Amino acid sequence: MPSLHPLDFPEILSAVGAYLLPGSLASCVRVSRHWHQTLLSLVWCYVRLEHFSPVAPEAQYLHKNRYFVRSLVVGGDVAEELTFLRFPTLRTLTLLSLNSGYAAAMVQAHPSLVHLEISGGRPTSYDVATLEAVMRLPRLKSLSANLSLDEATVDLFWAVCTRIERLRLHDAIFRVEGHLDSMMFSNIRELVLHNDSIYNHRYPRKDLEIMQRCPKLETLSWRGCWESGQEFFHLAAAGTWPYLENLTMAPTQTGDVKQALAFQQLKRISFLKIGVFGPRSFQAIRPHFATLKTLYLTKYGLATSAMMQELLSSCPVLEELIGDSIHADDIAHGQPWIRTRLRHLVLCINFDPSTIDEYQPLIFKQFSRLTRLEHLDVCWDRVRKPDDSDLSLVRHSSRVTFPPSIDLGLGKGLDLPLHSSCDMFDSSDWLRRYPRRQRTIYGRSK
């Protein structure tokens, strides 16, 4: 009896195939009949239809493999005959344009849709037929749109929003005011409101009006909120969103104190990416260290070196930290970093040149505790250690101008041809021996 190879099992082969690029998958299906039968569904799982695409599949092959297609992207210049194809198990549909007039027909023909995205270069005017077709989708959970609404379509759009769980609006335009009245979006758990385009006439207060109608909101990403940030944090402090745990916000005029009051009302914090982060905010999120998975601290923050050290030594499930400046002395003499799930770490290490030879082995010993680290981005800044109570110095030290990254050559594994200019990474032997899962490391030296 011939011995079996792991790839002889369809379950294992499918799991491996899920990580392959389309070109590699197309090659693998030619290996054998078994591989062809197992991997064919992955080849056709994602299809992109655009008239100018040199690899767009022909209609006959699309029809033959229609049951495998789960995700479909349709361009505005696609051949008309392709828009009449039907994919019975389609879950995700992305329409790059509504100008061709086929959107309503395509949406209506695919009742299996769970995720729908309609986008373009500028906000697109929806017609009543398209929104009525969207309204009739029985399984729809997610809608992403770059849209323009008028008197004829705005009520239909809000009716759609009452049924979905995830809403993403990119530069949406509302040409009429009001119409929300007492409507509530009680099903929405994730809300993305980005307001960046020059075509946009939506004001932040309209965003707040939408947010207030999402009482079960868990995830919020809001961009274009400079003037209304204070009002948002006031509502959050009043308990408007008791389930909110993932927050991404562009910089606002809100101070550290008001922001901290809002954080105190949250039952759980898992993801935090905000424009201002100071001592009060840090104190407010400390009770959430046990659940904090991702923390982004921008260049506008007031985070101190002691805060960075405490985060790395106190957050057991932290997976990603885009940090601020931390002093070598705090790393060397601070509490041991937890052997966490940390995969992605960005830090700027401030050091005194007279002590770096003494501290460098201790610093690398701390890094060696991060056994799951995959991405490390470190810069070294020769500055004296500021007093953590002196925020003006902290702000100054965090505004470093980084030169271009020095790629340490880990793109294909643990090959480490260190560059001579990266003189702070003397311990290349440490890098080889400890972070076995390392894939990407960047180092900068000033």
Predicted pLDDT at 422: 42
Kindly tell me if the per-residue pLDDT of 303 is higher than 70.
yes
Report the pLDDT averaged over residues 383-387: 53
Amino acid identity of residue 432, one-letter, is: R
List, for residues 187-224, the tens digit of each pLDDT value.
Answer: 999 999 987 655 555 567 788 889 999 999 999 998 87
Closest CA to 302 of 323, 325, 277, 322: 277
3-state secondary structure at position 227: coil
Strands in 173-174's sheet, in edge-to-edge order, are: 124-125, 147-149, 173-174
What are the structure tokens assigned to 259, written together? 């922001």
DSSP string covering 351-364? E-TTTHHHHHHHHH
User: Cα separation of 382 and 162, whole Å?
Assistant: 54
pLDDT value, residue 400: 29
Locate the domains of the chain by residue range. 1-43, 44-224, 303-446
Rounded mean pLDDT of 283-289? Answer: 94
Rounded distance between C-alpha atoms, residue 145 and residue 124, angstroms: 9
CATH of domain 44-224: 3.80.10.10
Mean pLDDT, the chain, rounded, equals: 77
pLDDT tens per residue across span 127-183: 788 889 999 999 999 999 887 777 778 888 889 999 999 999 887 777 666 567 778
CA distance 146 to 202: 12
Question: What's the pLDDT at 391?
Answer: 37
Whole-structure pTM value: 0.78
How far is residue 397 from each of residues 15, 350, 393, 406, measured CA to CA in Å?
Answer: 46, 8, 6, 21
Structure-token pair, residue 201: 């006439």
44: number of Cβ within 10 Å: 21
